[in-house]
Structure 1
């Protein structure tokens, strides 16, 4: 008999883009509805680069949480060539920062202020290793001579492996892993307990062919871009394994419809509107619903040294429809992943 009802400890989203202003108010309720905590990305304009920036942004997020909803934003620092190690360490010690985010300059959305050469932040990385502050990495090289589908694998070889060798106590999360090489690398370092990886729902459900199925589908374009089917299968196998280094991170990344459907469309999939339903679909297709709780609710808190949630949530096997569009106060809108499609699972809420 197929499973008709899933009861999970309330999951956390270990990689989310909430944006700011009208967009924040439009998209935050979706994340707060399903997840108890979320690692909030700092790539705003201007970026969340200091402790003071993070305190102010956290207040704006909390002000946008719907009444009666319990949700904890976990703030991150946007690393730049000029990041102050003392400010970063103080923010971590004071509980403002949960981690720091490394964007190679110009690798993805709003990354122009990112790190131009990882050697320039050596003092920052040394301090982070000393205090146990996790480093979250967008793992792609920006070398235009490297094919876009190879940039994660090349980053692992050129940057990540040497980084871990130089900083032997540094704790690292390879964000939104997309390749078999990433899975293998994380597994090779699993015994150390200092390397983890987040995996998105969309990278579990689509490969690169879906982006061009019947024409260009801009709402499936994200960075890192979806790879070959063999890589999707490797990610799925890692996610359903229940292994500790792999945990849920949606990388939900909302952009206005006009910015996605343009001559130079923005990268990002907005999956927050139905995130857990999408993960349940991927795990069910693999015959592994029994390991969803480990991936979604247990592995992440353990990696970050945080308590596992006591609250539980319910998913039921009943049709639900992804929203056609999420309207923003300025009149534009965001198109959710699988917009308007019928899904097999419905998020019910607290158990």
Structure 2
């Protein structure tokens, strides 16, 4: 497949298995952009204020999302917290909740109520294994706990291995994989362990993130060799790895007015997520990281749509999108009608395919 010369491309709808849709007016602005990016299925993160720690809260949030976008399948999650007991897991399974998200305490946005001791949740994980819920891991440790010269993600990888060995039937997702070491750790586990890869970690490096507030996120992008390892993982066609945008909106003002190094963590890609994966692959071909022939229709469909649905035990996409080259460029931001909320978009000014539903 010669991406640069393709003028039109038809793909099954993207399944975005890691989405932040926020709450209140920001949620109302964000939710319509899910389908704009070619997505019909979205796994929604629970790190709201307060975090979603009971079934009623999750179902109420899902109802709000569905009211705004009736044609998106919103998969929901609980925030791992001491209140998430085995009984709550049974209730969640009966209510159709998909997973439970583990945030180490204090590592990212709205994670102050996160986990400090995973072993205290072993009964909960056993209940998840029994009821078929997915454990979604923000796979980093606090900076104070990471050995010198070891990334926060790599310091977490032994924990992934321990959890998988103790709960071999529990489906575990290592979210937003950023390193070559994480890819190898996931591959070393059995078929119940998978990982999401974002669009932005396919084109950003630590150099970008340190200098541009719109490229700053958690987990922080890593070395060019790690970025390239993620690209090669996608074109390997390995079904353990699939798309989760981790699109994380913050008001433009908070990104631009913060002191240097103090901007909130999050890269916003949602309105162009499908196209940005393709842009990242095009850039990787230009760098010589991969070859034109490494990118095939089947591999794009697998990463963007099929593998995530398979892991989450969902049917294949019934909807399709068409991407066409029409000279569209990524705008600076998306804003509410009255201009009160504005969110900056990643990779401003980049040429992208235009997307429409068929």
Normalised by the size of structure 2, how large is the TM-score?
0.91
Change (3 A) 1:143 1:338: closer
1:258 Cα offset (Å): 2.1
Q: 2:246 aligns with which of 233, 247, 251?
A: 251
Match of 2:329 in 1: 321
Q: Which string of whole-angstrom CA distances, capped at 9 and with x for unpartnered residues, describes residues 23-58 of structure 1?
A: 011111111332111000000000111110111101
Alignment partner of 1:21 is 2:24: yes
Report the counterpart of residue 128 of structure 1 in structure 2: 128
RMSD, aligned CA: 1.6
Q: Provide Cα deviations, 1:70-119, integer angstroms capped at 9, x if missing partner.
A: 11111101011231221222212231x11110111111100011111001
- On the 8 A contact 2:26/2:341 being kept in 1, the answer is no
Is this contact kept in 1: 2:164–2:193, CA < 8 A? Answer: no
Aligned to 2:112: 112
1:331 to 319, 336, 340: 340
CA shift in 2, pair 1:44/1:330, >3 Å? farther
Distance 1:103 1:171 in 2: 17
Contact 1:283 1:289 in 2 (8 A): no
Cα offset for 1:257? 1.5
Structure 1 residues 186-335: aligned runs within 5 Å? 186-189=186-189, 192-212=190-210, 216-261=211-256, 262-263=258-259, 264-285=262-283, 286=285, 287=292, 288-290=295-297, 291-328=299-336, 331-335=340-344
What residue number does 1:155 align with?
156
SS of residue matched to 1:163? helix
Counterpart residue number, 1:3: 6
Aligned-pair CA distance for 1:323: 2.2
The offset of 1:143, in angstroms, is 4.0
Structure 2 residues not aligned, in runs of 5+: 286-291
Provide Cα deviations, 1:256-283, integer angstroms capped at 9, x if missing partner.
1122220221000000021111011123
Aligned counterparts of 2:145 and 2:39: Cα–Cα separation in 1: 39
Q: Equivalent of 2:56, from 19, 27, 52? A: 52
What TM-score does the superposition give when structure 1 sets the normalisation length? 0.92
Match of 2:288 in 1: none
